[in-house]
Amino acid sequence: MTFLSHTAYLTGRQLRAFWRMPAFLVMNLIQPVIWLLLFGQLFRSVIEIPGFGAAGTYLEFLTPGIVMMMALFGSAWAGTVYIQDMDRGVMDRFLTSPTSRGALIVSTIVYQGVLAVVQSLLVLLIAWLAGARFAGGALGVVVLLVAVVLLTAVFAAFSNAIALLARQQTALIGISQLISFPLMFLSSAIMNTALSPQWVQDVARFNPFEWAVIVGRSALSDAPDWASIGLHLGLLAALAVVMAWLATRAFRSYQRSA
């Protein structure tokens, strides 16, 4: 079997497992939707602060940030599948078979990407029903979804690597939260960084989560900055490749410690 056939089989395995428990899709949507609707109402007046620099309503400003937040937190937990496979002995059987290590990583990324796209479309629909309107239209939504998939790839690969190295659920959860929350708050997901201290603005420039938020927000606007979109999509794609490579290398550490 080839790398592509391995990836297709392993992705199908995870999708079949999800299909048997579709309630997880709804559960993963609850918190983002609460943030979207609650923050969208509580802070709707912040759009009027001088220097905020965003057109439209706060709900329209917030929605791309919530979409990326959902992708970040969902993918940061991707390694739990590996932990379960380790506990059941499935991972050891995979690694003693001709199964491609790269396919193990990529299949998880593809699976997480599919879920992230479905969830993102549902969040966009809920935002639209709540009154948000996105001038970027269908093209803007497609570009936002590309950013969602790339962001998911970065952190799903990272989560898989941590799972292979730590081999414990509690360690994976702790590390994921330790990284995810600072990345979220050191970005423009819920507040324009133009109103933040200078050091926050400086850190945000190197924040991959912020790169995805910039792409999504610009793509949905009435005047997308395609140069900025292309630059940040390129940065996300490059980081996704690096993280996938590092996650594949982590199998060696897992096998040495097994």
pLDDT at 51: 74
Which of 3, 53, 21, 90 is closest to 191 using CA atoms? 53
Kindly state the tokens that stand for 61: 């400003």
pLDDT at 2: 82
pLDDT at 168: 87
Which residues contact residue 53 at a Cβ distance below 8 angstroms, ignoring those fewer than 6 apart?
A: 192, 194
Confidence (pTM): 0.92
- Tell me the angle at which helices 208-220 and 137-166 cross, rounded to the nearest 10 degrees: 160
pLDDT at 105: 92
Instruction: Please state, in angstroms and rounded to a whole number, the distance separating the CA atoms of residues 34 and 108.
Output: 27
pLDDT at 1: 57
Question: Mean pLDDT of residues grouped by 10 in the chain (258 residues)?
Answer: 83 83 73 86 83 81 94 90 87 84 91 93 94 92 98 96 89 90 92 89 95 96 94 97 93 73
Domain boundaries, the chain: 3-257
